[in-house]
């Protein structure tokens, strides 16, 4: 029997046992080391599986996320030799694989947005530690936001959701989508302007932009 190491990292972001993103260089080394010692890739799985699952579930469904998140790590493990440890960002790389797989479910994603748009049931996100006015406004315009997202091109939607749902930095978005770092900011701004204009047409004004992590 081949024993794999016991899990020592928490799968949840933000817990004390998980390295922060300044650990990206060590994560890259872990991926590289896993070429000779495959078991080390388990650390990457433990670190990111729940986070990737959450991102996929927020774009598709939880059921789809069970399968697609698993496939993301199977692909990542299989292709870990192609990861450039000297320059690559592990988090961005994993999100990139997940985003590609989500792309195969393009129609499912659009169907979800259309369903939100049509649905008369508006449920506020539970457990959100945000001011009440944010939640109320979100309930009101949910349909318009869903419609606007459905109308975006796939590439624009990927950029926007990697930042909005995944919380990726520009460097990580560049890694995920295989686009130059320098274009991420301009592309994101363009998509946000498009979204803002679409929401404005629907009668909703938007306030100041939050700062993007660059």
Site for another protein in 70-89 (CB under 8 A): 70-71, 73-82, 84-85
- Least distance (Å) between residue 19 CB and another protein: 19
35 belongs to the binding site for another protein (CB under 8 A): yes
Cβ atoms of 111 and 61 closer than 8 Å: no
Residue 13 interacts with another protein (CB under 8 A)? no
Count the neighbouring beta carbons within 10 Å of the beta carbon of residue 96: 24
Q: Is 6 in the site for another protein (CB under 8 A)?
A: yes
Torsion-angle region of 208 (φ positive above 0: left; ψ -120 to 50: alpha; else: beta): beta
Under 8 Å CB-to-CB from 45, ≥6 apart: which residues?
A: 73, 77
Among 106, 206, 213, 214, binds another protein (CB under 8 A): 206
Q: Residue count at the site for another protein (CB under 8 A)?
A: 76
Structure tokens at 1: 């029997």
Local structure of 170: helix, strand or coil: helix
d(CA 22, CA 24): 5
Among residues 125, 153, 189, 201, the one that binds another protein under rule CB under 8 A: 125
The CB-of-160 to another protein minimum distance in angstroms stands at: 7
By CB under 8 A, name the one of 18, 110, 150, 165 that touches another protein.
165
For another protein, the closer of residues 105 and 196 by Cβ is 196
């Amino acid at each position: 029997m081949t024993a794999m190491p016991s899990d020592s990292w928490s799968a949840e972001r933000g817990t004390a046992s998980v390295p922060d993103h300044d650990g990206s260089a060590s994560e890259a080394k872990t991926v590289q080391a896993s070429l000779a010692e495959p078991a080390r890739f388990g650390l990457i799985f433990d670190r990111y599986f729940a986070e990737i699952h959450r991102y996929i579930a927020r774009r598709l469904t939880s059921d789809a996320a069970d399968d697609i998140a698993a496939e993301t790590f199977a692909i990542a493990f299989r292709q870990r030799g192609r990861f450039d440890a000297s320059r690559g960002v592990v988090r961005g790389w994993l999100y990139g694989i997940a985003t590609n797989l989500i792309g195969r479910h393009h129609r499912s994603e659009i169907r979800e947005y259309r369903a939100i748009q049509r649905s008369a049931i508006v449920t506020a996100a539970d457990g959100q530690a945000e001011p009440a006015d944010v939640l109320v406004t979100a309930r009101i315009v949910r349909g318009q936001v869903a419609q606007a997202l459905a109308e975006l091109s796939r590439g624009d939607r990927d950029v926007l959701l990697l930042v909005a749902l995944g919380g990726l930095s520009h460097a990580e978005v560049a890694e995920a989508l295989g686009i130059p770092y320098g274009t991420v900011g301009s592309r994101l701004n363009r998509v946000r302007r498009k979204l803002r204009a679409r929401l404005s047409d629907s009668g909703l004004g938007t306030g100041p932009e939050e700062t993007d992590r660059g």
